[in-house]
Amino acid sequence: IVLTQSPGTLSLSPGERATLSCRASQSVTSSYLAWYQQKPGQAPRLLIYDASSRATGVPDRFSGSGSGTDFTLTISRLEPEDFAVYYCQQHGSSRTFGQGTKVEIK
């Protein structure tokens, strides 16, 4: 399964809403779709799994949705610490990652 994320870069201001897309080349089994956040020099951080379940300790401004081949990560109101790169991953058998979306300060 190939995952394609869009846009490549999202330029937004703190307080704005961010909508990130992840499209799969074929249907993702059991909605096994995860989202990660990565900041420079840090390991990735799991945000969402099973398309819409928040990982432990993740603020509720992060939400995931979608099924089949189209998935979305929404950050309701961007905080300064949310500017980072975000990756989707299908966490079924092949576990491929998308190429990433950079959320940068406008």
Partner 1 sequence: EVQLVQSGAEVKKPGESLKISCKGSGYSFTNYWIGWVRQMPGKGLEWMGIIYPGDSDTRYSPSFQGQVTISADKSISTAYLQWSSLKASDTAIYYCTRHDNYYHPGGYWGQGTLVTVSS
Interface contacts to partner 1, rule CB under 8 A: 30, 32, 34, 36, 38, 43-46, 49-50, 55-56, 87, 89, 91-92, 94-100
CB of 65 to partner 1, least distance (A): 18
How many of the other CB atoms lie within 10 Å of CB of 84? 18
**Shortest Cβ 85–partner 1 spacing (Å):** 8
Is the CB of 63 or the CB of 99 nearer to partner 1? Answer: 99
Q: In what order do the strands lie in the sheet with 9-12?
A: 9-12, 101-105, 85-90, 33-38, 45-49, 53-54
Measured from the CB atom, the residue of 14 and 59 that comes closer to partner 1 is 59
Shortest separation between residue 15's beta carbon and partner 1, angstroms: 27
Nearer to partner 1, 11 or 30 (CB): 30
Q: Measured between alpha carbons, how far is 66 from 98 in angstroms, rounded to an integer? A: 15
Least separation, in Å, of the C-beta of 13 and partner 1? 25
Beta bridge partners of 37: 45, 86
Contact yes or no for 59/43 (Cβ under 8 A): no
